[in-house]
């Protein structure tokens, strides 16, 4: 370890975030490597190391001969201060080398509130934050992840966006860059070549114009750049890489366990859920492979907890059989098995009995809305009886803690829908009183609400968000309705973060000036309440002459050109609009397993969809 860095680590909290050297981390001989990739996560070590996608792509890239992928995380404020005070540049955890000397600096974008973290990390690395200010001597800056489905707010800072899943796309990008490096291509030529790789979006090759009313007028690609960028997917999940020999963190992280990915995509089609649309079509791993991977990962890591990961775990058809196989290993080896993402309409007694063999934790269900009319409007195909039946099953089996998640501000929502949340929570409480084996133990029912954020590539991408005042009014209405219920705890998300998230989620290229202004004024780690300042962001908007409400509180017209329309996740735009119309009629669209809805996403996988 660099001696100066060693001295710095004496002055910061949690120095293990910055030392590297973890078990299973990949360290290569520099002499055998001709291409170096910095995988950057614009949040802390604890958050980034909990990300399965990071672990997957880290393994995929390091399997390539001659390529070395290292991890880089956003430093906490005390470490950033030390880096700036001493002049130490941001470095890769595996080697300690400055990432400004790498070939590619890649960012994983999972949350809009991390955008200033991208600029901060580039600056800490000693790199110009704007793509236009970088040249052949600088590494290529790329980005991917769920936020890349609307890349425009960061278009001024990122050279290339990788749209969709990266297991096959990133190696193709790396090989193109290696060829360019060997043959001496200019940066402009490299970007043109990269734009030919399916799934790669190069913002500098497109010209955007605006109308007087602020809406987009045109989006024009240069010659050779595709007019539409189609996301990449992995077609066969049984052949996809899984990190069995995963890195064992040297300090506590948020999700410190084996994460077993059952499938990608979702059969449900909830109209607010971006992940449910952009990860289509559904592609599953076989239960035999999953059982083997889960056991091997536990043996390799020594972890005592395994979680089954997907957008809707209980929709995996052979889930019970998979649990039985895993529990044959988990129980004698004292490994607990957890199943997040359970649905209230298929939480069964047989599943509960299997979960009971391990440690009981609280159960979480997400009805999303308080009335059946609104659940139908958002295509959340769960009934009140589904929820109460699942709670009855859980309470009878000895559970005494249930968390219920809802959204406020959904399209077509009324005060009756808001008050319906309180009514539903009370029914859950009375269900517990009816069937709990030991009522003296008490029950914990937690109701949590977040503010609806309209996202790109969903049926609600045209919708407006409630004003912060209206959201707070609904919070007060619900809080007053629940305050007499001592067994029910109510938590709500703050409206300021959701407001800014909505701005960044549906913004265009003009937001680059705002993001940079906020960052230069001190914005960083905005996902953390310790650092987030709403006023700082509003000041940046005023300084740049942009009205954030233009992006948040305005309903888009059907034919309006949207900032992300040059990107397709495979789902047809007309299908999304039809789903929006179904919302206003409060009509359910069947899930993909019951009936193919013709969204178009299965075309990306040769017409195959496990749904």
Report whether pLDDT(114) > 60.
Answer: yes
Q: How far apart are CA 315 and CA 335, in angstroms?
A: 23
Report whether pLDDT(349) > 90.
Answer: no
pLDDT of residue 344: 72
Share of the chain above pLDDT 90, in %: 85
In the three-class reduction of DSSP (H, G, I as helix; E, B as strand; rest coil), residue 583 is classed as helix
> What DSSP character marks residue 51?
-
Residue 294 contacts residue 326 (beta carbons within 8 Å):
yes
pLDDT of residue 347: 64
With a threshold of 0.75, does the pTM exceed it?
yes
Residue 444 contacts residue 401 (beta carbons within 8 Å):
yes
Domain 235-341+555-579+593-611 of CATH type 3.30.1300.10: no
Please report which confidence band the pLDDT of residue 355 belongs to, taking 50, 70 and 90 as the band edges. low
Same fold flag, 3-230 and 235-341+555-579+593-611: no
Please report which confidence band the pLDDT of residue 6 belongs to, taking 50, 70 and 90 as the band edges. confident
**Would you state the torsion angle of the CA atoms of residues 597, 598, 600, 603, taken in this order, to the nearest 10 degrees?**
110
Which residues, at least 6 apart from 561, have a Cβ–Cβ distance to it below 8 Å? 215, 216, 217, 218, 219
Query: Which of residues 442 and 296 earns the better pLDDT score?
Result: 296
Region 378-382 average pLDDT: 94
pLDDT of residue 352: 67
> What DSSP character marks residue 268?
S
- DSSP bridge pairs for 392: none
Q: Which of 345, 301, 377, 286 is nearest to 589 (CA)?
A: 377
pLDDT of residue 421: 98
- pLDDT per position as a tens digit, 192-251: 999 999 999 999 999 999 999 999 999 999 998 999 999 999 999 999 999 999 999 989
Q: 363-368 and 401-408 as β-strands: parallel, antiparallel, unpaired?
A: parallel
Query: Which of residues 393 and 561 earns the better pLDDT score?
Result: 561
Map out the domains of the chain as residue ranges.
3-230, 235-341+555-579+593-611
Which residues, at least 6 apart from 509, have a Cβ–Cβ distance to it below 8 Å? 152, 153, 155, 156, 203, 208, 563
Please report which confidence band the pLDDT of residue 438 belongs to, taking 50, 70 and 90 as the band edges. confident
pLDDT of residue 224: 87
How far is the CA of 90 from the CAs of 18, 84, 137, 308, in angstroms? 10, 10, 17, 34
Domain at 3-230: CATH code: 3.40.50.2300
């Amino acid at each position: 370890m660099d001696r100066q860095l060693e001295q710095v680590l004496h002055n910061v909290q949690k120095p293990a975030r910055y030392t590297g050297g973890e078990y299973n981390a990949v360290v290569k001989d520099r002499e055998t490597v001709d291409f170096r990739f910095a995988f950057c996560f614009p949040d802390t070590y604890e958050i980034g190391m909990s990300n399965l996608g990071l672990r997957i792509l880290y393994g995929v890239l390091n399997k390539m001969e001659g390529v070395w992928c290292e991890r880089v995380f956003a430093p906490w404020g005390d470490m950033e201060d030390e880096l700036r005070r001493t002049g130490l540049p941001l470095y890769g955890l595996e080697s300690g080398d400055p990432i400004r000397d790498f070939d590619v600096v890649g960012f994983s974008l999972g949350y809009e509130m991390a955008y200033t973290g991208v600029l901060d990390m580039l600056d800490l690395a000693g790199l110009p934050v704007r793509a236009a200010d970088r040249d052949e001597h600088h590494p290529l800056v790329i980005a991917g992840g769920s936020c890349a489905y609307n890349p425009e707010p960061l278009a001024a800072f990122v050279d290339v966006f990788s749209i969709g899943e990266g297991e096959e796309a990133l190696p193709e990008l790396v090989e193109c860059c290696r060829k360019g490096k060997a043959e001496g291509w200019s940066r402009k030529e490299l970007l043109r070549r990269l734009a030919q790789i399916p799934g790669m979006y190069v913002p500098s090759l497109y010209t955007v114009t605006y109308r007087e009313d602020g809406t987009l007028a045109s989006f024009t690609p240069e010659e050779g750049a595709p007019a539409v960028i189609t996301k990449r997917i992995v077609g066969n999940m049984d052949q996809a890489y899984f990190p069995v020999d995963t890195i064992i963190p040297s300090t506590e992280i948020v999700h410190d366990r084996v994460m077993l990915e059952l499938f990608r995509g979702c059969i449900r089609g909830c109209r607010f859920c971006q992940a449910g649309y952009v990860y289509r079509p559904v592609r599953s791993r076989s239960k035999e492979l999953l059982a083997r991977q889960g056991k091997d990962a536990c043996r390799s890591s020594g972890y005592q907890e395994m979680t089954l990961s997907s957008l809707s775990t209980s929709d995996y058809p052979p889930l019970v059989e998979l649990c039985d196989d895993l529990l044959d290993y988990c129980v004698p080896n004292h490994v607990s098995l957890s199943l997040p993402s359970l649905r209230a309409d298929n939480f069964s007694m047989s599943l509960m009995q299997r979960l009971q063999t391990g440690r009981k934790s609280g159960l979480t269900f997400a009805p999303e809305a308080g009335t059946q009319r609104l659940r139908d409007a958002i295509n959340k195909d769960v009934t009140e009886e589904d929820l109460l039946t699942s709670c009855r099953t859980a309470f009878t089996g000895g559970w005494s803690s249930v968390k219920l998640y809802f959204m406020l501000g959904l399209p077509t929502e009324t005060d009756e829908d808001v008050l319906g949340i309180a009514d539903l929570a009370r029914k859950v409480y009375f269900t517990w009183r009816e069937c709990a084996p030991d009522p003296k133990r008490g029950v914990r029912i937690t109701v949590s609400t977040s503010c609806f954020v309209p996202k790109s590539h969903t049926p609600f991408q045209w919708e407006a968000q409630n004003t912060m005042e209206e959201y707070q009014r609904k919070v007060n209405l619900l809080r007053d309705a629940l305050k007499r219920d001592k067994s029910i705890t109510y938590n709500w998300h703050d409206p300021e973060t959701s407001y800014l998230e909505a701005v960044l989620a549906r913004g265009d290229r003009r937001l680059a000036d705002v993001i940079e202004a906020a960052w230069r004024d001190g914005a960083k780690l905005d996902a953390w309440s310790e650092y987030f300042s709403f006023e700082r962001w509003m000041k940046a908007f005023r300084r740049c002459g942009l009205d954030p409400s233009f992006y948040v509180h305005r309903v888009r017209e059907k034919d309006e050109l949207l900032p992300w329309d040059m990107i397709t996740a495979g789902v047809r735009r007309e299908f999304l609009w039809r789903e929006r119309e179904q919302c206003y009629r409060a009509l359910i669209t069947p899930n993909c397993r019951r009936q193919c809805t013709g969204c178009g996403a299965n075309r990306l996988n040769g017409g195959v969809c496990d749904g």
